């Protein structure tokens, strides 16, 4: 080969890669120049720091679709698009070694998306250009436009979008694709969940407080519209809606409720979540916290199943904390501790004036009593729910105030009169009476508490209805005025036994006359009948028979005659 | 100013050289064309060597159609992952089939060398395919265990029969464009086999550390490939006698006499 | 003469210059599956041996068939990523991707029978990711009671008519057995 040919070949090879010897010479022959110049190729595109954030294929010319958060800040499909399908990249560092899922948002038919390049910081991939669909989601939609953008998640799409099937498709070459608005390598469980739900533009909104260790042992992060927390066992939970609003109003983690320590439990009525400082219960009555001393009482009372949902926040008045629930009430104080009153005991307690009534504050939880039944103890009283002998259903009764004091001094339920059978009756004039298992009690301002048992009490009970009778309440203990006779004196009469006719009732003017005559020690002897009316006519005379005579009262004259 | 003048002087000198070369090659081309088409009237069509009579003018000789080329069979089988595959052995680039098994001791060296693919050199674009016998005669799990992530492996008893593989290890090189087997044999390691392939095919690219072929302009490569295809379509393959005949002993009916 | 490629009830008669693969992911594979190192700061894909990834609860895989007139790399995305990047103007790739039976009867998969693509149905944007010069085609359909997506990529527009003819020839030689 000649020198000239060597030179020509060398120049052709070195200067024009697309040329050959012939074309090179042809150019020289045509234009008379052997040194026609041609554009130099770029050896490579410079790699910037941004390229490492957005990964491979981030330029528009690379042909891939943009990430949705690069469009509007939210890791979710924008308006005018729908989830059309998904694929995964296995063992992604973005998901701590698990698969990362890419969800395509296809434009809806008729939407006004136009193809253009993204303008993110480094994610400049294509927007609404690639007319392609993966097809596992929303298969009821057969008309679709190009891929508007992509959503990424570490959670399998079919687990949070019911429109997606679990037909899995893979493309590991997209494993490095990312954007500045997406989390980096191996984000925390909370961050992954946040981005799965749209990230800053999604349902939780932007982050309010950085992720931190929880007082419950896991981690917690607060966002504008909710809380995401991970428990010690690794399970992730959230607080949103009314529960989150209440929690936030209570100071969130810095408040008395502290950090959530459980999942959210639900029954048909309410949901509740435990926190390190209390309980947050949400129901139709709103979201309310149960904290402090009342929390233990609420829990011991059975929570929502026992005492219902709290219907108000905790009150503190003169050292007494209280909180009403749908089926009860919580009270607490330094002297009495914290206790709940719920169910039938609460209904009676409420009718008796709650802590402001004679019963006062509860001093015990509801507890079973020997022989069946339950009781709740109060500062000045008791409430019992029992089924007395012979009864077919339980009843709830109280013993309170002055009657309770006397009853308790005499042995209470273990004393001679036993358990109360009904709540006390109030009489005109302020007297009280109350039946018990083995007798009864009465109280009057002038004579105080009295105990009455046996047939005399039964006879007195028998003539008492609706807190009324002809003789008033007993004002004395059982007396033996004469041998073989017994009597209980009442406000306006007496019940006397021993005359052979059983306990009889003497009252009114006849009683007064009997007393003046010497009562049981008089020559009349013991009464052998109640005071009875001689005829049905109005104003009819009344008479009482005695062992040795009778007394007759004429209401017209007011005179009591003996005969 | 002096520099400018010197630069211009150099440029002009180069131009003069190029023009001279251009004119000379042009003259050479004209002379060669003149010899081919017989030149002006009265000039003999060909000049033969002394003592050799000129050929008689006659109609072109019709050549028999070349026998159809038998293409190397495709490899049909499955991969250790259970993929059903048909791998084409011919095409734009060649294929090297490496027949191995999981049980042969000599094959171990190959499996180990495949695990370090930097030690495997192939001609540009060529494909290396490891072929074992099918699942009915070979342990799939053992093959999966031996195969490196980057090696392409197919289990195919049929391929062993198609290529009449006598045993493992065994290598067969298939030329891409022709689909013909251009080399086969065995050895104790890839390096031995690579030398075998380089000798059989004349392609030093099988050998590690070999100097790369001098770069050619792409258009030249395309034109040479096109010429190769046309020759092969006419039944003239590399090594064909007609490409290497001694002009002194060429038969009289040859159309061209080479100097 | 065609070479049959058959698996999972799918049978494809491959022309002489085509090769194909029918794969089913999700089965225990050999250790050492190629993958790319992910994460920021990784300047290039790196392959390293890793154990097969366990399936997520409920995850399902179905057969994916790839047919091409050029060498198919072993590591490919289900819609051909990794293979399409190697195509020249005379190449074509056919991906036949099956979906789960729950897709049968949906609007997206309503068309019945194997599609017969026409040149006019191909477009430069009908691609999983756009590569300059390539044309793509995608259809969802049901055949033999099984839902599929057909995705075809042509390496260049200049040979589109001839390539589409080859593609149709391959599809005509493809049969799908009932599920």
3-state SS record for chain C: CCEEEEECCEEEEECCCCEEEEECCCCCCCCCCCCCCCCCCCCCCCCCCCCCCCCCCCCECCCEEEEECCCCCCCCCCCCCCCHHHCCCCCEEEEEEECCHHHCCCCCCCCECCCCCCHHHCECCCCCCCCCCCEEEEEEEEECCEEEEEEEEECCCCCHHHHHHHHHHHHHCEEECCC
Q: Give me the residue from A47, A87, A167 closest to C62, CB to CB.
A: A167
C-beta separation of A441 from A420 below 8 A? no
C-beta separation of C94 from C68 below 8 A? yes
Check CB contact under 8 Å for A167 and C60.
yes
Q: Which helix (H) or strand (E) holds B174?
A: strand B170-174
Same domain for B15 and B89? no
Same domain for B29 and B87? no
| pLDDT exceeds 80 at position C36 | no
Q: Can you give the residue range of the structural domain that contains C64?
A: 3-176
Distance, C-alpha A257 to centroid of its chain: 14
Q: How far, in Å, CA of C69 to CA of C179, rounded?
A: 29
The answer to whether residue B101 sits within a structural domain is yes
Chain C residues whose beta carbon lies within 8 Å of the beta carbon of residue A65: 129
Same domain for B91 and B198? yes
C-beta separation of B122 from B96 below 8 A? yes
Q: How far, in Å, CA of C37 to CA of C47, rounded?
A: 7
Q: How far, in Å, CA of B188 to CA of B106, rounded?
A: 6
According to DSSP, the residues that pair with A334 across neighbouring strands are: none
Q: Are strands A549-554 and A542-546 parallel, antiparallel or unpaired?
A: antiparallel
pLDDT, average across residues C139-162:
96
| pLDDT exceeds 50 at position C2 | yes
Residue B173 to residues A315, B150, B162, B240: CA-CA distances in angstroms?
91, 20, 14, 20
Dihedral Cα A488, A493, A495, A496, nearest 10 deg: 90
- Measured between CB atoms, does A18 come within 8 Å of chain B? yes
- Measured between CB atoms, does B71 come within 8 Å of chain C? yes
Half-sphere exposure of residue C29, counting CA atoms within 13 Å on the CB side? 24
Q: Which of residues 28-57 of A touch B (CB under 8 A)?
A: 28-29, 33-35
Neighbours of B173 (CB within 10 A): 28
| pLDDT exceeds 50 at position A18 | no
The string of pLDDT tens digits covering residues A359-390 is: 999 999 999 999 899 999 999 999 999 998 88
The answer to whether residue B202 sits within a structural domain is yes
Q: Can you give the residue range of the structural domain that contains B199?
A: 75-206
Check CB contact under 8 Å for C38 and A176.
yes
Mean predicted lDDT score pLDDT of chain A: 89
Q: Which of B165, B186, B206 is the last residue of a domain?
A: B206
| pLDDT exceeds 50 at position A30 | no
Q: How far, in Å, CA of A168 to CA of A157, rounded?
A: 10
State the DSSP string of A335-392.
TTEEEEEEHHHHHHHHHTTGGGSTT-SB-S--EE-TTS-EEEEETTEEEEEE--TT-S
pLDDT for the residue numbered A156: 92
Count structural domains, chain C: 1
**Per-residue confidence at A120, pLDDT binned at 50, 70, 90?**
confident
Q: Which of residues 12-41 of C touch A (CB under 8 A)?
A: 25-26, 33, 35-41
| pLDDT exceeds 80 at position C68 | yes
Here the CATH number for the domain that contains residue B147 is 3.40.30.10
Contacts for B182-190: CB closer than 8 Å, 24+ residues apart: B182/B94, B188/B106, B188/B109, B189/B109, B189/B110, B189/B113, B190/B109, B190/B110, B190/B113, B190/B114, B190/B119, B190/B120
pTM equals 0.67
pLDDT for the residue numbered C31: 41
The string of pLDDT tens digits covering residues A63-93 is: 999 999 999 989 999 999 999 999 999 988 8
Structure tokens at A88: 């995964």
Please give the order of strands across the beta sheet that includes A278-283. A260-266, A271-275, A278-283, A286-291
pLDDT for the residue numbered A51: 55
C-beta separation of A295 from A275 below 8 A? no
pLDDT, average across residues C140-155:
97
pLDDT for the residue numbered A34: 33
| pLDDT exceeds 90 at position A532 | yes
| pLDDT exceeds 80 at position A19 | no
Name A236's Cβ contacts closer than 8 Å, sequence gap at least 6: A189, A190, A193, A228, A229, A230
**Per-residue confidence at A43, pLDDT binned at 50, 70, 90?**
very low
The string of pLDDT tens digits covering residues A451-480 is: 998 899 989 988 887 777 888 899 998 899
pLDDT, average across residues A204-218:
94
Mutation target vs B (from A16, A34, A90, A172; most B CBs, 10 A cutoff): A34
User: Which residue's structure tokens are 């507890």?
Assistant: A367
ipTM confidence:
0.91
Contacts for C117-122: CB closer than 8 Å, 24+ residues apart: C117/C150, C117/C152, C117/C164, C117/C167, C117/C168, C117/C171, C118/C164, C119/C160, C119/C161, C119/C164, C122/C152, C122/C154, C122/C160, C122/C164
- Measured between CB atoms, does C140 come within 8 Å of chain A? yes
Q: What chains are in contact with C, requiring at least 3 Cβ pairs below 8 Å?
A: A, B
Check CB contact under 8 Å for C30 and B147.
yes
**Residue B224 or residue B88, greater confidence:** B88
Count structural domains, chain B: 2
Backbone angles phi, psi at A7, to 5 degrees: -60, -45
């Amino acid at each position: 080969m000649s020198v000239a040919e060597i030179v020509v070949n060398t120049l052709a090879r070195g200067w024009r890669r697309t040329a050959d010897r012939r074309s090179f010479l042809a150019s020289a022959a045509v234009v008379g120049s052997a040194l026609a110049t041609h554009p130099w190729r770029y050896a490579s595109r410079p790699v910037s720091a941004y390229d490492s954030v957005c990964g491979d294929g981030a330029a528009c010319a690379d042909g891939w679709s943009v990430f949705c958060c690069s469009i509007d800040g939210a890791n979710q499909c924008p308006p005018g698009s729908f989830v059309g399908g998904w694929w995964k990249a296995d063992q992604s560092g973005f998901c701590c070694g698990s698969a990362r899922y890419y969800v395509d948002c296809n434009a809806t038919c008729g939407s006004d998306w136009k193809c253009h390049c993204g303008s993110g910081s480094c994610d400049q991939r294509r927007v609404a250009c690639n007319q392609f669909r993966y097809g596992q989601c929303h298969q009821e939609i057969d008309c679709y436009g190009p891929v508007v953008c992509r959503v990424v998640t570490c959670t399998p799409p079919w687990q949070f979008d019911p429109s997606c099937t679990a037909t899995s498709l893979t493309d590991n070459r997209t494993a490095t694709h990312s954007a500045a608005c997406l989390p980096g390598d191996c984000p925390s469980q909370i961050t992954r969940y946040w981005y799965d739900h749209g990230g800053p533009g999604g349902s939780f909104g932007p982050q309010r407080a950085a992720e931190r260790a929880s007082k419950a042992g896991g981690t917690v992060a607060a966002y504008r519209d909710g809380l995401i927390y991970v428990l010690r066992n690794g399970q992730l939970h959230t607080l949103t809606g009314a529960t989150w609003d209440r929690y936030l109003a209570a100071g969130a983690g810095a408040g008395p409720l502290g950090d959530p320590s459980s999942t959210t439990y639900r029954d048909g009525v309410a949901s509740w979540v435990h926190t390190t400082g209390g309980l947050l219960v949400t129901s139709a009555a709103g979201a309310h916290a149960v904290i402090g001393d009342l929390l233990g009482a609420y829990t011991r009372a059975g929570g929502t199943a026992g005492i219902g949902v709290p219907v108000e926040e905790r009150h503190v008045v003169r050292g007494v904390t209280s909180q009403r629930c749908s089926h009860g009430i919580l009270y607490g104080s330094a002297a009495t501790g914290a206790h709940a009153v719920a169910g039938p005991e609460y209904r009676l307690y409420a009718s008796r004036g709650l802590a402001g009534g004679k019963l006062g504050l509860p001093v015990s939880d509801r507890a079973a009593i020997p022989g069946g039944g339950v009781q709740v103890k109060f500062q000045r009283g008791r409430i019992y729910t029992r089924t007395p002998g012979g009864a077919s259903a339980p009843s709830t009764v109280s013993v309170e105030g002055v009657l309770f004091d006397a009853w308790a001094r005499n042995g209470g339920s273990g004393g001679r009169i036993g358990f109360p059978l009904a709540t006390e009756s109030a009489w005109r004039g302020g007297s009280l009476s109350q039946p018990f298992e083995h007798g009864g009690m009465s109280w009057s301002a002038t004579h105080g508490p009295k105990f009455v048992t046996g047939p005399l009490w039964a006879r007195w009970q028998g003539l008492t209805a609706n807190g009324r009778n002809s003789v008033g309440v007993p004002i004395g203990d059982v007396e033996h005025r004469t041998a073989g006779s017994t009597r209980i004196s009442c406000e306006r009469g007496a019940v006397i036994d021993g005359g052979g006719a059983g306990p009889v009732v003497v009252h009114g003017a006849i009683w007064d006359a009997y007393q003046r005559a010497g009562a049981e020690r008089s020559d009349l002897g013991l009464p052998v009948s109640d005071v009875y009316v001689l005829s049905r006519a109005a104003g009819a005379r009344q008479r009482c028979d005695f062992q040795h005579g009778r007394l007759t009262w004429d209401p017209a004259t007011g005179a009591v005659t003996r005969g | 100013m002096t520099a400018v003048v010197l630069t211009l002087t150099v440029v002009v000198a180069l131009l003069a050289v190029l023009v001279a070369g251009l004119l000379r090659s042009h003259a050479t081309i004209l002379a060669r064309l003149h010899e081919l088409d017989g030149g002006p009237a009265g000039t003999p069509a060909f000049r033969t060597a002394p003592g050799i009579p000129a050929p008689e003018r006659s109609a072109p000789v019709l050549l028999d159609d070349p026998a159809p080329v038998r293409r190397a069979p495709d490899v049909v089988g499955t991969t250790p992952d259970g993929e059903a595959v048909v791998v084409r052995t011919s095409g734009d680039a060649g294929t090297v089939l490496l027949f191995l098994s999981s049980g042969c001791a000599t094959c171990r060296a190959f499996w180990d060398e495949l695990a370090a693919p930097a030690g495997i050199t192939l001609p540009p674009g060529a494909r290396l395919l490891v072929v074992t016998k099918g699942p009915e005669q070979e342990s799939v799990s053992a093959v999966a265990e031996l195969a490196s992530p980057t090696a392409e492996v197919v289990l195919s008893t049929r391929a062993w029969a198609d290529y009449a593989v006598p045993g493992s290890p065994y290598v067969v090189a298939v030329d891409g464009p022709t689909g013909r087997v251009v080399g086969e044999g065995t050895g104790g390691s890839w390096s031995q086999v690579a030398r075998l392939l380089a000798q059989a095919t004349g392609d030093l690219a099988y050998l590690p550390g070999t100097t790369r072929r001098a770069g050619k302009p792409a258009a030249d490569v395309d034109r040479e490939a096109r010429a190769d295809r046309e020759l092969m379509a006419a039944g003239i393959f590399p090594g064909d006698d007609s490409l290497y005949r001694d002009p002194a002993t060429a038969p009289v009916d040859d159309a061209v006499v080479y100097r | 003469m065609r070479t049959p490629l058959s698996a999972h009830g799918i049978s494809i008669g491959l022309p002489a210059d085509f090769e194909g693969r029918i794969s089913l992911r999700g089965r225990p594979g050999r250790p050492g599956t190629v993958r790319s190192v992910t994460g920021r700061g990784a300047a290039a894909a790196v392959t390293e041996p890793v154990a097969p990834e366990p399936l997520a609860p409920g995850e399902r895989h179905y057969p994916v068939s790839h047919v091409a007139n050029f060498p198919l790399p072993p590591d490919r995305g289900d819609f051909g990523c990794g293979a399409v990047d190697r195509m020249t103007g005379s190449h074509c790739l056919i991906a036949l991707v099956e979906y789960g039976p729950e897709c049968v009867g949906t609007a997206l998969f309503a068309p019945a029978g194997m599609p017969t693509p026409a040149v006019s149905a191909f477009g430069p944007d009908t691609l999983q990711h756009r590569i300059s010069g390539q044309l793509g085609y995608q259809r969802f359909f049901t055949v033999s009671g099984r839902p599929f997506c057909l995705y075809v990529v042509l390496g260049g527009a200049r040979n589109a008519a001839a390539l589409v003819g080859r593609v149709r020839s391959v599809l005509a030689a493809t049969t799908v057995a009932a599920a």
